[in-house]
Structure 1
Amino acid sequence: MSEKVHITQNSGSVDHTVEALGHAMAGGVAGMATIALTYPFSTVSTRLQVQQKKQQQKQQGEIQAVPYKNSIDAFKRIIKEEHWTTLYSGLKSALIGIGASSFVYYYWYSLLKSISLKVKNKSELGTLENIVIAALAGCANVLTTLPIWVVNTRLQLNSDKGIVGQFKHIVKNEGYGGLYKGLIPALILVSNPSVQFVSYEKLRSLWRKQTGRSKLGGLEIFVLGAIAKLIAGVVTYPYLLVKSRLQTQNGQGNNEYKGTLDAIFRILKTDGFLGFFKGMPSKMVQTVLGAAFMFLVKEKVVTYTVAILFYLKNYKKRV
């Protein structure tokens, strides 16, 4: 919620749909700006997450690449062996994906929260209520946008086909079900934004009480957003790695995972517990800085977006 457009027990006249749309638009803009800023870290993280799969393929004579040692080594080798633009492979699909994901998530999160506040006649929701609302919004987001992220993951590994080409290739060779690979861990990852936003709102509430101010500055929003995302990222990263492993499978290998549980047990067997955290440093840099930047942009943009939408709506009524 923004500082100026805040639902309270006395604000029943607020149009929840318009406000939710304003948050969705602001979230989409913030998400796209964030992904453009931090995308190379995502590419490196994805390469490291699926590295065990590449090692297996290497043993079968399909890929002759030497595994990356760590995030820094991956950065250096991608630039040296391929090209620096490779770090941005799949960026277009990521922009589409994050724009759609942020729009869907913020729309449902804001709408459900606004309605809940009005129904319960409260100014703030409890932790459990926030978690439930964030989870419902997250599920709607996953079911709507997962195909875009499957295409994006494939493009980060091989950008030859392009967005449309990769989409057609998956459907042709794997069926429409191929667009929903990693659905179960993706749904489990719904807990990530739940933990993130609940942490952010609680941190913001505590900081308000500590400082005695109702409106926070840009630096404060940035820091609180970063801490909230760090907490969520560490807790849910193993599922992100499993999702990436599943999404890179094309249905043609002999050593593919049979499902989520099979992937978990085999990763634990071959890589050990730490194998679930491959590529986490670069991913944490991307997600923590990205989330902080996104919170900052969204908080600044949402007030103006909602105001413009209300103005346009009232203008149409007058005309």
Structure 2
Amino acid sequence: MLNITKQTLPPVGHAFAGSAGAMFALALVYPLDIIKTRIQVQTKGDGKDGKDQQEHYDSAWDGICQIVAKDGLTGLYAGLSSSLLGTASTNFTYFYCYSLLRDQYNVKFNNNNSVGTLSTGMELLLGAAAGALTTLITTPVSVVTTRQQTLPAEERQGVLETCQTIVKEEGVSGLWRGIRPSLVLCVNPSITYGSFEKIKQFVLKLLHTSVLSSGAAFGVGALSKTLATVITYPYIMAKVRMQWKPSKEMEGKVEAYKGALDVLARVIKQEGFFGWYRGMSTQISKAVLSQALLFMMKDIFTNYTILAYALLKNTRK
């Protein structure tokens, strides 16, 4: 039987394991995802008539209560299908690109040592490159998901219908709205995965072991994602606002954003510095939980992928 390990598993295997783990994590924390998105697009005194017309959530729990009261429990899962599609495609593409780039680097510059560790700078560089490729491919799904999560139930459409509406109203380029801040945010996964690898090495040495337990992987993942989220949050908020479309009730009352810098300038003028961090606690809770669950579950799904890959290879003999 072929000896397949995590080191010899091809990039597509890591991609399947990563996307499966990410979808599992998102399904568990999705209500927080929709709450943080709606909080991020809430404006304060941004209407042309000087009045705030949007419903506001004072906290994640307040948002959950308002959504359930208005749309029922299903309201907490609005846009779940497109979000799962986006998560699957984003993580599959990212893990595939990251594993492929890492393998190619090791072959050419690290004496073909696939298990060798890389410097922090190289981890960040490879992560950013993989993130940029992923962003270019998956931004349309992100735009669709944001629209579905923020529009009222009566205006919400399916994935294909939402795509068609965006193309009809904004042209094909509308599907890539927010691409510039999204590319800037490529440093987020690179910070996450780069810091994860370094913190992981430290913890392994501290615990005198070669494999992280599920609990340790959860903790390391949570810490690395928190660091990345705090550093990049203002641009996360700016990207979401650019991809957001006001409801019909709000049309003409909110001036469209010209770009990420316009978002940041208007927010700091109207809400002050802390406006840049509106909803960050919910974002961190969602991001940390989902990322920690991803790191924990990816190892489990990787083991199943190795088993499936080995069985598939041997049945072809």
The alignment's TM-score, normalised by the length of structure 1, stands at 0.89
Query: Which residue does the alignment assign to 1:43?
Result: 34
Match of 2:11 among 9, 13, 20: 20
Q: For the Cα contact (< 8 Å) 2:6–2:306, is it kept in 1? A: no
User: Equivalent of 1:153, from 143, 146, 149?
Assistant: 146
SS state of the match for residue 161, structure 1? coil
Shift of 1:83: 1.9
The answer to which structure has the higher helix fraction is: 1
**CA-CA distance at 1:69 after TM superposition:** 2.2
Over aligned residues, Cα RMSD in angstroms?
2.1
- SS in structure 1 of the partner of residue 46 of structure 2: helix
Task: After TM superposition, give the deviation of residue 57 of structure 1 in Å.
Answer: 4.5
Q: Which residue of the partner structure matches residue 10 of structure 1? A: none
Query: Which whole-Å CA distance do the structure 1 matches of 2:293 and 2:25 have between them?
Result: 6
Contact persistence 1:51–1:67 (CA under 8 A): yes
Give matches, 1:1-319, under 5 Å. Answer: 5-7=5-7, 14=8, 19-52=10-43, 56-57=46-47, 59=49, 64-119=53-108, 120-121=110-111, 122=113, 123-158=116-151, 159=153, 160-249=156-245, 253=252, 255-316=255-316, 318=317
Alignment check: 8 A CA contact 2:124 2:194 kept? yes
Count of aligned residue pairs for this structure pair: 303
Give distance in 2, aligned partners of 1:71 and 1:175: 34
> What SS does structure 1 have at the residue aligned with 2:211?
coil
Cα separation, 1, equivalents of 2:267 and 2:187: 22
- Matched to 1:261, the amino acid is L
Residues in 1 aligned to 2:310 and 2:102: alpha-carbon distance in whole angstroms:
19
- What stretches of structure 2 of length at least 5 have no aligned partner? none
Q: CA deviation at 1:64?
A: 4.4
Deviation at 1:140, TM superposition (A): 1.0
C-alpha offsets along residues 176-232 of structure 1, whole Å, 9 cap, x if unaligned?
Answer: 111111111111111111111011111110011111110121111111111111111
In 2, Cα distance between equivalents of 1:135 and 1:275: 27
Identity %, equivalent residues: 35
| Partner amino acid, structure 2, of 1:191 | V
Deviations 1:39-69 (A, max 9, x none): 110111111111107x5348478x8444222
Q: Deviations over 1:119-165 (max 9, x none)?
A: 21241111111111111110111111110110000000124212121
Which one-letter code corresponds to 2:125 in the other structure?
Answer: V
Amino acid across the alignment from 1:223: G
SS at match of 1:69: coil
Q: Deviation of residue 70 (structure 1)?
A: 2.6
Deviation at 1:265, TM superposition (A): 1.1
User: In structure 2, what residue type is equivalent to 1:26?
Assistant: A
Structure 1 stretch displaced more, 117-126 or 214-223? 117-126
C-alpha distance in structure 2 between counterparts of 1:161 and 1:245, whole Å:
19
Task: Give the TM-score normalised by the residue count of structure 2.
Answer: 0.89
**8 Å CA contact retained: 2:238, 2:264:** yes
Kept in 2, the 8 Å contact 1:222–1:295? The answer is yes
Q: 1:57 to 1:162 in 2, by over 3 A?
A: farther
Aligned partners of 1:196 and 1:59: how far apart in 2?
A: 42
Matched AA of 1:42:
D
Q: Distance in 1 between matches of 2:290 and 2:307?
A: 26
Partners of 1:201 and 1:266 in 2: CA distance: 37
Q: Is the 1:267–1:276 Cα contact (8 Å) retained in structure 2?
A: yes
> What SS class does the counterpart of residue 94 from structure 2 fall into?
helix
Equivalents in 2 of 1:293, 1:228: separation in Å?
Answer: 13
